[in-house]
Amino acid sequence: MGKIDHSSAGALENGGIKENLSKYYAHSKLGEPSEKWHLLEDHLQSVADMAAGYARFFGAQDWASIAGRWHDLGKGTHSWQAYLRQANDVTDEFAAFYTGHPVHAIVGAQKLYDSSIEAGKLLAYCIAGHHGGLSNWNDEESLALKVRLGKTYSKIDIPITDPVFPSLPFLSEKDRFGFQLQFFVRMLFSCLVDADYLDTEASLSNEKSTWRSGYPSLLELSERFSINFNILRNKADSTTVVNQHREKVLDDCMKSAEFNPGLFSLTVPTGGGKTLASLAFALAHAKKHGKRRIIYVIPFTSIIEQNAQVFREMLGDDAILEHHCNFMVDDSDWKSLLASENWDAPIIVTTNVQFFNSFYANRTSHCRKLHNVADSIVIFDEVQAIPVEKLSPCMEVIKELSLNYGVSSVLCTATQPAIEYSEQFQSGLKGVQEIIQDVPGLFGALKRTEESFIGELSVQDVAAKLFSYEQVLCVVNTRQQALDIFNALPESDETIHLSALMYPLHRTKKLNEIRRRLEDGEPCRVISTQLIEAGVDVDFPCVFRAVAGIDSIAQAAGRCNRNGLHEKPCKVFVFNFADLPISSFIKQAAQSAEKLFDRFKGKLTSPECVREYFDDYFWKNQQRMDAEEIIKLCKTAQSGDIQFKKLADFQMINSSTIPVIVALDQNAIKLVEELKYSNYKRLVLRQLQQYTVQIHSNQLNEIKGSLELMESGILILLSEKLYSIDTGLKTSNPRGEAFIY
């Protein structure tokens, strides 16, 4: 596929230079003579072979081979070879051709585009962007690909063979062709940039290449899981109703793992063993169908480490990669950083933000991992947490991965949203297979609560009701509401506050204290934001929940009588704040929920109620499901005129947050000191994540005078005056919902 012909390369005449390919290099090596540099021919062939190997999982190996062979042809010019030598103080026969730093990526892209304005154009995006990222085809900037392809560049001084362009390998759908085309180019781009990075790394840094090896296979992990899970089962009380139905959930998962790859849903009540059952399904499904890896996508950073720890206990430390984005640093411990660059670990635990943003990104650092999603199993935990205004772009990604990239996706939740295809929701999914054989029966058998709406209450009313219970949980929608209720209760060790303004290790200590009190029968009144609903294993005899969507109410109910230890269903009281405003987002969800309070009194968490809630909520918001008009922009790409930089405007969260390290205890202070001098900053930062609070820009402005800014850009809080052992970081405007995505 465009291989350089050595037989014709030995005696080319140009300006008195007798050419041969052993004098054309792709990269220099620091401190090494030029004869030990990375040969261009070797690099082009290696990248072509590696990229083709990656792309074979979605039938695009011939496309990737062309991209690899042509991506650095611009280095096959006298002027670029002269530049490389000049940069390394080497003088030889190329010196006369030095003209500065010539561009190289666009040269091969231009040649391919001149050969084919259709196939060549798609490859041109990848080649032209393999350093700087995918660009728009046409815009006002000079960096637009259309403009760059129209310029004149140095002629290629090495022999090349015209490529034979293959046909598109994906199953196309008329109304989705534009989306599919940009998706294909992005996946092809991923293969190219990862192959380019890895071949360059192998040539220039043997240490890095060594760090990339040594992961256990999914088959080995499946065996580890079986051993450790059986130990866990033997410790559990098999006579309880909850544990008996957890066994049934597991049994359904193992049976469904035999099904053909595709789209699956796993609808299990909270406390039904969904996390480990979904992992069991994925391991068995991977073994049956030869899938490459398992990617676990979690909505909130507040629970990513918790779930990753569960998987480590089952599978071992050497199998799991956590990848989210609290810190971005250049220096790092090799293995975690290198794996996060391209997701080549067998088990990935990541967030909705990292996953979906990457599929609309245009930067090489964000895209290079995408090809490793192909032929994998992706588990979306708490799928109902995808924001409604991002729903269409997210569903399109899930749909396309299943249709053309060999991915089995599992949509896990206790409150399955109505995400099937319909006229009102054309980005919905088709052919979703439910793993649980009898969803209504399972929910009926695990019915452990009765939910009812008790009307409007003031902050003082809520505080008074909570004080009348020995053990009770109250979940509210904002940090300010949690603070107000906490402050309205008598000061006591029995009253505990939880919010995302507390760093994770602080919250963990509080949760351990809560669990101890619950188990020992001691008084325990907890006021929390929604973070306690995100997979936190606590079991209260009574719960109060500020009005919200049915899915949120169901999650709160999942913290009540969770293990079925009470013979009768326990009470979940839903209330409205009489004197506090709520955001428009929560208000819409609450309005859809309130319609159902009377008709489904006592059974607000039933599948029927959840279905009616989402039908109404999605109908109200059908015009908002693609708030940034990403899908509309994709449709204009069907001609091949793709606006990659504009598509990269997609963000799962529009209001970004800033991490602040709270360095108040001795361990945190010690780690901060290590961070200043360590050569492995990522290793230290991983430990410091347990001391990190995410804040908004207005909060940062309020406290920045008390923060230390390190050289790496990391912010450190050292003032005890700004952090409370009861409520966490002190700001006059706590604002915001609980979750950091």
- Contacts of 716-723 with C-beta under 8 Å, sequence gap 24+, read 716/660, 716/661, 716/663, 716/672, 717/660, 717/661, 717/662, 717/663, 717/664, 717/693, 718/663, 718/664, 720/664, 723/662, 723/664
- Confidence band (pLDDT; 50, 70, 90) for 340? low
| Calpha distance 241→714 (Å, rounded) | 49
Q: Is the model's pLDDT at 10 over the cut of 60?
A: no
Rounded to the nearest integer, the mean pLDDT of the chain is: 88
Ramachandran quadrant class, 218 (left: phi over 0; alpha: psi -120 to 50; beta: rest): alpha
Encoded tokens for 10: 């030995």
| Extended beta strands in 537-664, E state | 542-546, 570-577, 658-662
What confidence tens digit (pLDDT) does each residue in 235-254 have? 888 888 888 999 999 999 99
- Full 3-state SS string of 607-644: HHHHHHHHHHHHHHCHHHCCCCCHHHHHHHHHHCCCEH
Taking residues 262-281, what's their average pLDDT? Answer: 94
Task: Read off the pLDDT band of 376 (50, 70, 90).
Answer: very high
Amino acid letter, 30: L
Confidence (pLDDT) at 325:
56
| pLDDT of 476 higher than 90 | yes
**Which CATH number among 3.40.920.10, 6.10.140.120, 3.40.50.300, 3.40.50.150 corresponds to the domain 218-434?**
3.40.50.300
Q: Which amino acid is at 137?
A: W
pLDDT for the residue numbered 212: 54
What does each C-alpha distance from 133 to 58, 152, 678 come to in angstroms?
22, 21, 31
Domain boundaries defined on the chain: 6-169, 218-434, 443-620, 658-729
pLDDT, mean of residues 582-593? 83
Q: At CB < 8 A and 24+ separation, what contacts does 172-178 make?
A: 173/403, 175/426, 176/396, 176/400, 177/638, 178/634, 178/635, 178/636, 178/637, 178/638
Which helix (H) or strand (E) segment holds residue 473: the answer is: strand 471-475
- Residue 251 C-beta-side C-alpha neighbours within 13 Å: 9
Q: What is the pLDDT of residue 330?
A: 39
Q: Please, what sign has the CA dihedral across residues 91, 95, 98, 103?
A: negative
Give residue 242's pLDDT.
87
Quick check: helix, strand or coil at residue 17? strand
Say yes or no: do domains 218-434 and 443-620 share a fold.
yes
pLDDT, residue 213, reads 57
Q: Give the model confidence (pLDDT) of 85-96 as tens digits.
A: 999 999 988 999
- Give yes or no for a contact between 374 and 57, defined as CB atoms under 8 angstroms apart: yes
Distinct helix (H) and strand (E) counts, the chain: 28, 23
Domain spanning 443-620, CATH architecture: 3-Layer(aba) Sandwich (3.40)
Which residue in this structure is represented by tokens 């990526």?
105
pLDDT at 511 over 80: yes
Cα-atom radius of gyration of the chain, to the nearest Å? Answer: 28
Q: Name residues whose C-beta falls within 8 Å of residue 490's C-beta, 6 or more positions apart in sequence.
A: 467
What is the token pair recorded at 568?
């009768």
Helix boundaries (H) for 205-329: 206-211, 218-235, 241-256, 274-289, 301-315
Averaged pLDDT, 302-325: 82
> pLDDT tier at 665 (50, 70, 90 boundaries)?
very high
Amino acid at position 408, single letter: S
**φ and ψ of 736, to 5 deg:** 95, 155
- Tokens 């979904």 correspond to 278
User: With 50 as the cut, is the pLDDT of residue 668 above it?
Assistant: yes
Question: Rounded to 10 degrees, what is the CA torsion of 274, 626, 651, 549?
Answer: -40
Instruction: Place 209 in a pLDDT band, splitting at 50, 70 and 90.
Output: low
Q: Looking at residues 403-426, what average pLDDT do you find?
A: 90
| Contact status, residue 276 vs residue 225, Cβ threshold 8 Å | no
- Note the residue count of the chain: 741
Q: Which long-range contacts (CB under 8 A, 24 or more apart) does 484-487 make?
A: 484/459, 484/580, 485/459, 485/527, 486/527, 486/726, 486/727
Q: What's residue 292's pLDDT?
A: 96
465 sits in the region (left: phi over 0; alpha: psi -120 to 50; else beta) called: alpha
> Is 214 strand, coil or helix?
coil
At residue 472, the 3 state secondary structure works out as strand
106, 123 in Cβ contact below 8 A? Answer: no
Confidence of residue 206 (pLDDT cuts 50, 70, 90): low
pLDDT band at 14 (very low <50, low <70, confident <90, very high): very low
What is the side-by-side order of every strand in the sheet holding 495-498? 449-457, 570-577, 542-546, 471-475, 524-528, 495-498
Q: Which residues contact 649 (CB under 8 A, 6 or more apart)?
A: 628, 630
What percent of the chain has pLDDT above 70?
Answer: 91
Rounded-to-integer distance, Cα 103 and Cα 127, Å? 12
447: left (phi over 0), alpha (psi -120 to 50) or beta: beta
Higher pLDDT, 321 or 375: 375
Least confident span in 321-335, 367-381, 450-464 = 321-335
Say which DSSP state 136 is in: B
Could you tell me what percent of the chain has a pLDDT over 90?
A: 66
pLDDT of residue 334 exceeding 50: no
Tokens representing 342 are 């391209």
Q: Is the pLDDT of residue 1 over 60?
A: no
